[in-house]
Amino acid sequence: MGDLLKIKGGKPLQGQIKAAGAKNAMTKLLVASLLSDKKCTFHNVPNIGDVEITVNLCREIGSEVQWDKKNHTLEIVTHELKTSYVPQRYSGSNRIPILMIGALMGRTDEDIIVPTLGGDMLGSRPVDLHINALQKLGAHIEYRDMKKEGAYLAHAHHGLKGAVINLNYPSVGATENTILAAVRAKGTTLIRNAAIEPEIIDLILFLQKLGANIMVDVDRTICIQHAHQFHEVEHTIMTDRNEVASYAMCAISTKGRVFIEGAEHLQMIAFLNKIREIGGGFTVKPNGIEFFHNGLLKGGVHIETDVHPGFMTDWQQPFVVLLTQTSGCSIIHETVYENRFGYAATLKEMGADIELFTQCLGGKTCRFAACNHHHSLVVKGPSPLHAKEIAIPDLRAGFAYVMAALLAPEVSTISNVDFLDRGYEDLVGKLTALGADITRVVQPKKHPEKTKTALHHLLAEKSLTPV
Ligand code: EPU
């Protein structure tokens, strides 16, 4: 059984915290470092589970890593690859292993084996856009379906060659995978309708230092040229805009005041607009942003989650909790994932007035219009929230539950805390520093037994050894 959180809510959060480096940038940069045999030094590295998992994965692939957690710095160098097999135990952990295909293909002639992907259950989460783009660059990729699990087998025995890739949706992961592969593909690659999230720009900045020539055009086209030479890199990870928004919403909803050092204005534009619309307060300062309750919070907003520069899908879960504290009726239309309102049932049990709809509410139709998924939501407030025993289903829903518990005056018990550890550095320490009544109850750890799987047989067939 995993650790538990006990939260007694009802207190306004007050004080100052420092924002961590971005999970969704750091994990990708570790993978990107595998493109070359040069040393990469990172600063502002977040001490979170997903970085830990990715570091362990890189070590298995052959990287030497020195991680100074106290100073948030990390050095990684991969002189040579020990294996190009992503062990099965990593495949259920997050969305990083599939990026190994793009990063390793230009570095090895061996098959790259990536067992079926994990990550939060937010919908079907296919990888067709990754696979199609990599195939266009010359990769040979096949999926082997086995009894208990499946795996992608990829190689580029004849090398990769630049191509024009049209993504039919600006997927973050598919854009990253294609960029990674394109850096070592001969000639020029154009990705049309690419994702341009700030974390992707951070990846591009890193790759430019490493030796790549990458240009982002105004129309979502990214142009990558074959890199011939690599260099040592020193890079500071961008601030985690999800973490900033999460604590900002806690400050405003609990009627408190919190300064978040390191919060970057540029990454928060869409979020700040919505905070202002509901009457929340913020002041942008030279070294961060202060968020505060500014009198009555009003609903009546319409939010459509979208790719950057739109309102992030990762902000919507805590924003719904915030909207339960506003007066009036608001609409959220989730257009990125078809199934990201699973947490609403628990919020309703805590006292929220929420209704889900399969239609696209708010004017614009999205690609889920005719699919019968509950991807629109109406929330009415203000509603007092009450404590509950809650099991976390995924990272962002998990933070929404923490926030709801901070608003409920009784004690809530939250399980599956591992999800929060994946993306929020020192959550208990930061909330305690802000005056929250929160304790982590540590439970004894279970050691899963290693079992022989169908994948082991496939590896044996290909004379590869799982690490
Ligand atoms: N999609 C496809 N085919 C593909 C890839 C994606 O149809 O081949 C669809 C997905 O099913 C989804 C949409 O495209 O409906 C967006 O997926 P995308 O590939 O953009 O997301 P991702 O790369 O898997 C990253 C973040 C998510 C964040 C999304 C959107 C990481 C590790 N994850 O996921 O972050 O929500 O982009 O911004 O970077 C989180 O941090 O909690 C989290 C889930």
Whether ligand 1 lies within 6 angstroms of the CB of 336 is answered as yes
Distance (Å) from CA 8 to ligand 1 centroid: 33
pLDDT of res. 455: 47
**Catalytic site residue from 3, 120, 240, 314:** 120
pLDDT of res. 176: 98
Q: Is the pTM of this model over 0.85?
A: yes
| Nearest residue (CA) to ligand 1, atom 12 | 337
Contact 24, 239 (CB under 8 A): no
Q: CB-hemisphere CA count at 13 Å for 66?
A: 6
Distance (Å) from CA 310 to ligand 1 centroid: 14
37 is catalytic: no
Average pLDDT of every residue of the chain: 92
Q: Which long-range contacts (CB under 8 A, 24 or more apart) does 78-84 make?
A: 78/33, 78/34, 78/36, 78/37, 79/37, 80/37, 81/34, 81/107, 81/108, 81/110, 82/467, 83/464, 83/465, 83/467, 84/108, 84/110, 84/111, 84/112, 84/113
Whether ligand 1 lies within 6 angstroms of the CB of 173 is answered as yes
pLDDT of res. 450: 45
> Measured between alpha carbons, how far is 309 from 301 in angstroms, rounded to an integer?
18
| % of the chain with per-residue pLDDT over 70 | 92
SS (H, E, C) 43-64: ECCCCCHHHHHHHHHHHHHCCE
Best of 120, 130, 169 for a ligand 1 pocket test (most atoms within 8 Å of beta carbon):
169
253-290 burial: b if 16+ Cβ within 10 Å, else e: bbbbbbbbebbbeebbebbbebbebbbbebeeeeebbb
> Measured between alpha carbons, how far is 341 from 332 in angstroms, rounded to an integer?
10
pLDDT of res. 116: 73
Whether ligand 1 lies within 6 angstroms of the CB of 24 is answered as yes
Strand order, beta sheet including 437-441:
389-391, 411-415, 4-8, 437-441
Task: Extract the residue ranges of the chain whose pLDDT is less than 70.
Answer: 1, 92-94, 117-125, 146-148, 446-467
pLDDT of res. 93: 62
DSSP state of 177: H
Nearest 5 degrees, angle CA 84-CA 51-CA 57?
Answer: 20
15 burial via Cβ count (<10 Å: 0-12, 13-18, 19+): middle
Please state the atom number of ligand 1 nearest to the C-alpha of residue 124: 11
| Nearest residue (CA) to ligand 1, atom 10 | 125
Q: Quickly name the fold that domain 4-19+239-441 has.
A: UDP-n-acetylglucosamine1-carboxyvinyl-transferase; Chain (3.65.10)
Whether ligand 1 lies within 6 angstroms of the CB of 246 is answered as no
Residue where the block lists tokens 């900002």: 248
394-430 burial: b if 16+ Cβ within 10 Å, else e: bbbbbbbbbbbbbbbeeebebbbbebbbbbbbebbeb
> Measured between alpha carbons, how far is 421 from 372 in angstroms, rounded to an integer?
33
* Cβ atoms within 10 Å of 128's Cβ, excluding its own: 11
> Measured between alpha carbons, how far is 294 from 392 in angstroms, rounded to an integer?
31
pLDDT of res. 121: 52
Contact 88, 453 (CB under 8 A): yes
> Measured between alpha carbons, how far is 259 from 282 in angstroms, rounded to an integer?
9
Whether ligand 1 lies within 6 angstroms of the CB of 101 is answered as no
> How many residues appear in the chain?
467
> Measured between alpha carbons, how far is 340 from 45 in angstroms, rounded to an integer?
28
pLDDT of res. 445: 75
The architecture (CATH level 2) of 23-233 comes to: Alpha-beta prism (3.65)
Distance (Å) from CA 298 to ligand 1 centroid: 31
Please state the atom number of ligand 1 nearest to the C-alpha of residue 171: 20
pLDDT of res. 168: 96
- Using one digit for the tens of pLDDT, what is the confidence trace for 123-180? 556 899 999 999 999 999 998 876 567 889 999 988 999 999 999 999 999 999 999 9
| Nearest residue (CA) to ligand 1, atom 15 | 337
Distance (Å) from CA 447 to ligand 1 centroid: 30
Whether ligand 1 lies within 6 angstroms of the CB of 196 is answered as no
Range(s) within the chain of domains with CATH label 3.65.10.10: 4-19+239-441, 23-233
